Amino acid sequence: RSLFDEPLGIAVQGLSPRQQVTLRASLRDEAGELFEAHARYQAAEDGELDVARCPALPGGSFSGLEPMGLLWALQPRKAFWRLVKKDVQTPFLLRLEVLEGHGDDSGRLLAQAQHERAFLRDGVRRVPVRDGRIRATLFLPPGNGPFPGVIDLYGAGGGLPEYRACLLANYGFAVLALAFYGYEDLPKEMKEINLEYFEEAVNYMLQHNQVKGPGIGLLGFSKGGDLCISMASFLKGITATAVINGSVANVGAVVRYKDVTIPPLGVNPKRIKVSKSGIGDIIDALNNPLEGADRQSFIPLEKAECRFLFIVGQDDHNWKSEFFATEGSKRLQAHGKEKPEIICYPGAGHYIEPPFFPMCAASMHLLVGMPVIWGGEPKAHCEAQIDAWQQIQAFFHRHLKG
C-alpha cells in the first residue's frame, strides 16, 4: 500500500537471465472503466528486472528508462475518460502483471501483484461540512492542530472533487474541498457566482479551531483558479493563492460581490477548431482581456493582499495560461505589488492534477459541450505534476506559517 501521489518501486525477481517479459499495469476506476499500460523488458543477467534500472524496449506504451512509466502511461480504454477518485476513503487497486514474451497477444501470466494506492493517510479525518450554505468536505491532518488552512476548488463540471484536498491534507494542511455548483442543493448550472458564498467558506476556515490564522491559502485549478483570484481580490483573510492553469479574467459566468459585478470574458465559438474526429481545440475561443469591453473581465487582482503562485502548463489548450500568468504579474507590479511566482512546465497540458494521475489528453468539456483537447505530452505532464505538487506545498508552507 502506498499513497496515490507517492512514487512506486517496481521490480520482478526470479526470472531467467535476459528473459523477455511484458509488464502490464492496470486499474479500474469506480465506474468500472479500465486504465492500462504495458511495456516490454528484458531481465538482467541475475534474473532481476528493476524498472528503475532497466530501460523498456520499443513496442509498448513507452520505451527507455522510465521508473514511473507504468503509472504515467496508464490510458483509459474508454475514449474521453479521465481518472478521478470519488470515494477517497477507499484506495485504487493497481494490478501488476508479468507476462511471458513480447508478443502483441498477451503471453502466459508468470506473476502478478496487487498494490493499493490510497488517498487518506492513516489518522487524517474527513469531515463533511454542511454549515450555512457551504457544501464542502474538510480534511484534517492527524495530531494536534492548528494547521495551515487551504480552500481547494476545481472548475467547470462542478460536483465535489475531494481527492486533491485529501492528498494535500496528508502533508499537514487543513484543507476544505469546496463545491460551488452541481452538488446537492447548490445551483445545477454555473450561471452566476456570488462571492458571498465563498466568503462564508473563508470565514468558516478562519474560525475553525484546527485552522491556524491569521490568513488561509487558496488552491484552484482551471475555472477554480480565476475564482480563487476573485476571492483573493475581494475577500479578507487570504494570505496565499496558488492557481493551476487558471485565468486572470473572470470566465464562464458573471461574478458578483456586494456592489461589484465582473462580467465573464467574451468567447467566440467560431474560433473553436474542430478536427475530423469531432474533437475541439478551444485555445483561441476566448477574447483578449486586455482589449475593449473585455477589459472589464480582468479581475482586479492588485486589490489582493496575498502572495500568488501560478502553475502553468505551456501546452495548455484550454486557454492561454502562460499569457494570463504573465499579464497578472504585470498588473500586480504596475500597482506596486509583489511579483508573483510563475512556474512554467513545457509539455504540460491543462489538466495538471496531483502526481501520478495519468494525463487526460481529451475529454468532454462541460461548458463547451464537445470533447476538447487539453494539451500535454504524458511523460512531461507527469513530471510537471510531481514538481508542481512540491512547489504548491512549499509555497503554502512558506506563507501560511502563522
Ligand X SMILES: CCCCC/C=C\C/C=C\C/C=C\C/C=C\CCCC(=O)SCCNC(=O)CCNC(=O)[C@H](O)C(C)(C)COP(=O)(O)OP(=O)(O)OC[C@H]1O[C@@H](n2cnc3c(N)ncnc32)[C@H](O)[C@@H]1OP(=O)(O)O
Q: Which residues bind ligand X (CB under 6 A)?
A: 81-82, 84, 154-159, 161, 182, 221-223, 251-252, 267, 269, 272, 282, 285-286, 318-319, 363-364, 367-368
Catalytic (active site) residue 316: yes
Q: For ligand X, which is the closer residue by CB, 91 or 358?
A: 358
Please state at what angle helix 195-207 crosses helix 223-234, rounded to 10 degrees.
70
Q: How far apart are CA 92 and CA 263, in angstroms?
A: 41
- Cis before 355? omega within 30: no
Q: Quick one: residue 97, left, alpha or beta (phi over 0 = left, psi -120 to 50 = alpha)?
A: beta
Q: Which one from 350, 365, 381, 399 is the annotated catalytic residue? A: 350
The Cα 119–Cα 93 span in angstroms is 12
CB 221 to ligand X: min, Å = 6
Q: How far is the CB of 81 from ligand X (least distance, A)?
A: 5
Instruction: Say which of 226, 294, 315, 316 is annotated catalytic.
Output: 316
Output 148 or 355, the one with its CB closest to ligand X. 355
Per the rule left: phi > 0, alpha: psi between -120 and 50, beta: everything else, 64 is: left
Where does residue 1 rank: exposed (0-12), middle (13-18), buried (19+ CB within 10 A)?
exposed
Q: To the nearest whole angstrom, how small is the minimum distance from the Cβ of residue 92 to ligand X?
A: 13
Catalytic residue among 222, 230, 321, 363: 222
Closer by beta carbon to ligand X, 66 or else 226? 226
Show the 3-state SS of 277-305.
CCCEECCCCECCCCCHHHHHHECCHHHCC
Active site residue 275: no
Reduced to 3 states, what is the DSSP secondary structure of residue 230? helix
Could you give phi then psi for residue 135, rounded to 5 degrees?
A: -120, 110
- Cell numbers for 401, please give them: 506559517
> Shortest distance, CB of residue 39 to ligand X, whole angstroms?
24
Amino acid at 237: G
Residue 268: count other Cβ atoms within 10 Å of its Cβ: 10
**Full strand arrangement of the beta sheet holding 92-100:** 2-3, 109-118, 92-100, 20-28, 34-42, 75-76
Instruction: Tell me whether residue 350 is one of the annotated catalytic residues.
Output: yes
Select 105 or 185, whichever has its Cβ closest to ligand X: 185
Nearer of residues 38 and 350 to ligand X, judged by Cβ: 350
Q: Which is nearer to ligand X, 41 or 324 (CB)?
A: 324
* Cβ nearer to ligand X, comparing 29 with 48: 29
Q: How far is the CB of 213 from ligand X (least distance, A)?
A: 28
Q: How far is the CB of 254 from ligand X (least distance, A)?
A: 11
Find out whether 252 and 156 touch, Cβ atoms under 8 Å: yes
Q: What is the number of H-type helices and E-type strands within the chain?
A: 6, 23
For 17, 44, 87, 321, 345, the CA distances from 178, given in Å and listed in that order, are 53, 49, 15, 23, 27
Q: What is the closest distance, in whole angstroms, from the C-beta atom of residue 135 to ligand X in the complex?
A: 12
Q: Which residues are catalytic?
A: 222, 316, 350
